Homo-oligomer: A and B are copies of this chain.
Amino acid sequence: MSRASDPDDLFDAALAGDRGAIARMLSLIERGGEPARRVGRLSYARSGSAYTVGMTGAPGSGKSTLTSALIGHMRSLDIEVAVLAIDPSSPFTGGAILGDRVRMQDHATDPGVFIRSMATRGHLGGLALATPEAVRLLDAIGRRWILVETVGVGQVEVEVAGKADTTVVVLNPGWGDSVQANKAGLMEIADVFAINKADRKGVEETRRDLEQMLDLSELPADSWRPPILATVATTGDGVPELWEAINAHRTHAEASGQLESRRAFRAREELREIVAERLHQRARQICTGDRWEALTEAVAARESDPWAAADTMLDGVLDA
């Protein structure tokens, strides 16, 4: 295993299949800064061939087990797969909920599977910007299928999962109030629904609910209507059908131009977010020093309101 830490050397080692080098490059991406930029530049030129599948759903939906079962099915078809398990940090503690993802350990010794948890450790823009970079790295070193699994259904996670080429939303029979808050978000990103733990009662009601919501969303007649599959991840029931549905969506997306337009949209969005992030970085630099102290004191003394103070702060920083 290469012990190099230079991104260029690591990239060469990763291209040669050195898993330690891949892991270390992903750590560089997580940490952000110049080394991450270098990894990004190296990856970008070589990427564009991988297909990404997002897996999202509420905690407890059996998403990890289903992802693991899907990996098992893909491996039985001799397909190599890389998995990024996305663990968002709490906005309050800065700490990451790093799961061990024990169920994924089934595949830990399989050289055709690469699994990695991702958290933010300083990357500007957080997981929303680090994840596409990690995907491009895996893409650049030759992985053709990349699964992106998110821990929960928070806004960041739905955003990240929704940026995949095909997004699978995992839910359970009796799916109800628990994810109410983000139902609209989930409906909007789903290309495939998996009703997991389908050996429990309530599958048909859940299916009806989903069909009704799809009816209400008034898809154009020729567009993709997300299929609704019943799965039991622990036994593998429905997993081949899930794989078929993912491939059916891929075929549709490629043929209809949806894949191309989605990717173009994502690329523009990413560029916009990076521009915004760079400006944020600038804001953090600005909001220090004597001038900043004087302005915050003026606001505290109610001599100035915050918007006026911000404009004063930015005077001479932004070109007109």
Q: Which residues of A contact B (CB under 8 A)?
A: 37, 40-41, 43-45, 47-48, 58-60, 90-93, 95, 97, 151-159, 162, 177-182, 184-185, 188-189, 264, 267-268, 270-272, 274-280, 282-284, 286-287, 295-296, 299-300, 302, 305-311, 313-314, 316-319
Contacts and interface: CB of A to CB of B under 8 A. Distances in A.
Contacts of A179: 178
B93 A151 contact: no
How many copies of the polypeptide does the oligomer hold? 2
A164 to B, nearest CB: 15
Contacts of A152: 180-181
Contacts of A59: 177, 180-181
A153 B162 CA distance: 21
Contact of A182 (B60, B154, B305): B154
Contacts of A296: 267-268, 271
B270 A318 contact: no
Contacts of A286: 275
A308 B44 CA distance: 11
Given A296-B271, A305-B44, A154 B178 contact: no
A267 B300 contact: yes
B184 A93 contact: yes
Given A41-B307, A276-B279, A280-B280, 15 more contacts: A37-B307, A44-B305, A47-B302, A59-B181, A91-B185, A92-B185, A93-B184, A152-B181, A177-B178, A267-B300, A271-B313, A275-B314, A279-B280, A279-B283, A317-B319
B177 A60 contact: yes
A219 to B, nearest CB: 14
A287 B305 contact: no
Contact of A267 (B154, B178, B306): B306
B181 A151 contact: yes
A284 B162 CA distance: 22
Contacts of A156: 155
A60 to B, nearest CB: 5
Nearest to A43: B305
A310 B155 contact: no
A264 B40 contact: no
Nearest to A313: B275
B180 A60 contact: yes
18 contacts: A40-B307, A59-B180, A60-B177, A92-B189, A151-B181, A178-B178, A267-B299, A267-B306, A268-B296, A271-B310, A272-B284, A274-B306, A274-B307, A275-B283, A275-B314, A278-B310, A279-B282, A282-B318
